[in-house]
Structure 1
Amino acid sequence: MIERKLKVHLEGHWNEGKVLIVLGPRQVGKTTLLEYLCSQTGDYLLLNGDDPIVRQTLENIGEVQLKQLIGKYQTVFIDEAQRIPNIGLTLKIIHDRIKNIRVVVSGSSALELSSNINEPLTGRKWEYHLYPISWQELSQHIGFLGVKQQFEIRLIYGMYPEIINRLGDEEAVLKQLASSYLYKDLLNYNGIRKPEILSKLLIALALQVGSEVSYNELAQLLRIDRATVEQYIGLLEQAYVIFRLNPLSRNVRNEISSSRKIYFYDNGIRNALIGNFNPLALRNDTGALWENFLISERLKANHYNNSTTKAYFWRTHAQQEIDYIEERGGQMYAYEFKWNPKAKNKFPNSFVEAYQPVEKQLIIPDNFEDFLR
């Protein structure tokens, strides 16, 4: 098993008496990690929310029935909890009324889960996210030389655990992951009125990675209204398929403030959606893959490091731009991503003057690993 960065954080809160919640995409290893941690403390009760009998049993269950169900177990692991109606109230009963019980929860969708648990579990939970394997996790697992040898493979096939562990079968596994299984929870959500639009929207977004996304243009392309595009993108975010990067706009008069960029949590999923697994030498989107890889990996690193960083991109109507910006500790950090090691980049003076002090860095294949720590 690849050692996960999140393991240390979970172990640190393991015996504090609060509900431990791990959210993230399907198939990134949430169940594997939590089952391992549970097994280290003895026998545990596993309740899988994908099982209809489990869902029926836990829906509107009372304190007496919960005590009977849990019995002698001191650890309860509820997997895919977003599938269980009223799960927040059930967790509150266990936490408040059944003493000396450790409760661990996983969820692959924030659609129902967040709304159902936030209020009932106020002050009663620790919540974390688990993502596909990070570059640092992979590096620690197979070593410096190993990740160097897999560099191009990871840019094309991504970082899902099953992809890493099944060299040679990447395309078949990714095609399965990128099918409706990836957004299974969305298809069960009653807010999706046109499920056939999801695949078309994802393909359109995959082709625009690294570029600004216009909801109006997407609406015209898909022949749906703008509000539906915005709603579906929000739902895809909550299902951990994509995430948005918003523009920084505070000081410069002609800064773009209404656009956004959309990235995928994993390069392999993005490439599976457009059916392109060609090597980098035969691609015209290497720069987009490089940018998506760096920003998604930086997101993982910041989360596992408990960073409070705010992230943006920057662009003006005069076409001046910066790929990625972080704000932390009252200072701006500006990054430009270039695949060509010989590339030179000049950070726009208008940005530097408006947001001083600014630390600037060009990220290329020769120095990217420090950026992902």
Structure 2
Amino acid sequence: MTMKLIPRKITDSIVEYLDTQEIILLIGARQVGKTSLLKIIQNHLFAKGVTAQSVYFLNLEDPLVLGYLERGVNDFLGYLRSIGTDLSRRNYILIDEIQYLSDPTGFLKLIYDEYPQLKLIVSGSSTLEIRQKFRDSLAGRKVIFELYPLDFEEFLVFKGEEQLAELYRECCLRRLLKKEDSPVVTLPARYRSQEFSQYYQEFVLNGGYPRVTLESDPKRKLVYLTDIYNSYIRKDIKDLMRIDNPLAFNNLIQLLAVQSGQMVNLVEIGTALKTSRQTLERYLFLLENTFVIHLLPPFFSNRRKEVTKMRKVFFLDTGMRNLLLKSFEFFAGRQDVGALIENAVFSNLYKNRELLEDIHFWRTQSQNEVDFVLRTSTTVPIEVKFQAMDKAKVPPGIRFFLRRYPAKVAFVLTRDFWDRTQLGETTVYFIPVWMA
């Protein structure tokens, strides 16, 4: 299947840096669309009048290309000169899978320092591998962008539903945080809620990997998801990370899929898997830094406590979670639907977090709880209630939270219920989960 080149939301942010000297570093999990995004940037340059003789695309998964770059910068620049490249003018070098270079820092730094007219745009699949190979000498020389599996808005675009995607942009939770009008009265999307719900179910079950989204056949979707996971275990875990016991690592991932949305208790997990705490901590670190999971910290007014307390685990892609559980049943037939929806909400919030925004959960010793808290200069509590609802009843957890931490707005994410109510100074919105 030939992948369509469909722009991602992050594209415009990257394009803004094409005229600067900084190295553009695009990182993300395997098969989230980094190569396609580099090609989109390449096409953008062509559309702006940059000639093909000034744009070079190098994929380091090709052993021949990798071997050529391993010879060093001088050989690479000599090759460019030999094919008629004018190195005194602006040229764009796009390098895919930069982590395969043995010394990417030295290669990129030398070009950056000695040839500022060469613009470097590079991608990498593992933040951990990149951190190991990218030394501090690149500080101040790079700008980093993270690419994730599709969020729900992008999913609609990839499904060819541009009109629904535009309606989503006008009514989603992020938009509601920036405007005052009521979603209950003014949102045209309310009248197409059933369509949104159907697409949301497909999105949550299969996840947001572009190749999976573009495939219409359910069996092929499963084949592609399985291939993505196996490739991750084979390339990132066995080859790059040198995990000597992939079976134990795989058992941990499967256990985390069962426990998604729950707090990670290393003592209990270590006992269940017969694995040391030190090994578990290393494995969790690897899983976070290869974009599989995120460990969500608790919310405290004292930020130091957030570092020491247990965190909740969520998967960045719900399709990957469902693959590990071997469960792709529709919402109505699932016993884990609450945990699945909560994970999906987290994933979409995380992919769309604002600059300097933190996401937390909140829980007290007396078990008062709020599923998510967005924190920048203000706080926004969010509770997931994926159940039948006929009136705007504010959950106890949000009530307790607002007594301690007053907020302008709060959200209750429902199955299909829309409303708005006032709780003191706080406006509480009741909106479907797909709007998060």
TM-score, reference length from structure 1: 0.90
Decide whether the 8 Å contact of 1:23 with 1:127 is kept in 2: yes
Aligned length: 366
Measure, in 1, the Cα distance between the counterparts of 2:336 and 2:109.
Answer: 48
Decide whether the 8 Å contact of 1:182 with 1:241 is kept in 2: no
Residue 315 (structure 1) shift: 1.2
Bigger mean CA deviation after superposition, 110-119 or 269-278: 110-119
SS in 2 for 1:347: helix
Alignment of 1:1-373 (within 5 A): 1-41=5-45, 42-43=51-52, 44-59=55-70, 61-62=72-73, 64-71=74-81, 72=85, 74-117=91-134, 119-140=136-157, 141-142=160-161, 143-144=163-164, 147-168=196-217, 169-181=220-232, 184-250=235-301, 258-302=309-353, 306-329=354-377, 331-342=378-389, 344=393, 345-347=395-397, 350-357=400-407, 359-366=409-416, 367-368=431-432, 372=436
Q: Aligned AA for 2:22?
A: K
> 1:207-245: per-residue Cα shift (whole Å, max 9, x none)?
001111111111111111011011101001111111110
Measure, in 2, the Cα distance between the counterparts of 1:183 and 1:23.
Answer: 19
Measure, in 2, the Cα distance between the counterparts of 1:178 and 1:255.
Answer: 31
> 1:28-87: per-residue Cα shift (whole Å, max 9, x none)?
11110111211332323222222333333333624x223113432822111111121110
Counterparts in 2 of 1:213 and 1:93: CA distance versus 1, 3 Å: same
> 1:140-174: per-residue Cα shift (whole Å, max 9, x none)?
45132664432211111111111111012322221
Measure, in 1, the Cα distance between the counterparts of 2:66 and 2:307.
Answer: 47
Listed as ranges, the gaps of 5+ residues in structure 1 are none
Residue 362 (structure 1) shift: 0.7
Percent identical residues:
29
Residue 104 (structure 1) shift: 0.7
> 1:84-129: per-residue Cα shift (whole Å, max 9, x none)?
1110111111111124112111111011213433512211111101
Greater helix share, structure number: 2
Counterparts in 2 of 1:214 and 1:369: CA distance versus 1, 3 Å: closer
SS in 1 for 2:387: coil
Measure, in 2, the Cα distance between the counterparts of 1:287 and 1:370.
Answer: 14
SS in 2 for 1:276: coil
Listed as ranges, the gaps of 5+ residues in structure 2 are 46-50, 165-191, 417-430
> 1:263-283: per-residue Cα shift (whole Å, max 9, x none)?
111111110111111121211
Measure, in 1, the Cα distance between the counterparts of 2:128 and 2:29.
Answer: 12
Decide whether the 8 Å contact of 1:201 with 1:222 is kept in 2: yes
Decide whether the 8 Å contact of 2:238 with 2:244 is kept in 1: no
TM-score, reference length from structure 2: 0.78
Measure, in 2, the Cα distance between the counterparts of 1:370 and 1:271.
Answer: 18
Higher gyration radius (CA) = 2
How well do the aligned residues superpose, as a CA RMSD in angstroms?
2.5
Residue 365 (structure 1) shift: 3.6
Decide whether the 8 Å contact of 1:237 with 1:243 is kept in 2: yes
Decide whether the 8 Å contact of 1:334 with 1:358 is kept in 2: no
Decide whether the 8 Å contact of 2:25 with 2:143 is kept in 1: yes
Decide whether the 8 Å contact of 1:183 with 1:236 is kept in 2: no
Counterparts in 2 of 1:88 and 1:316: CA distance versus 1, 3 Å: same
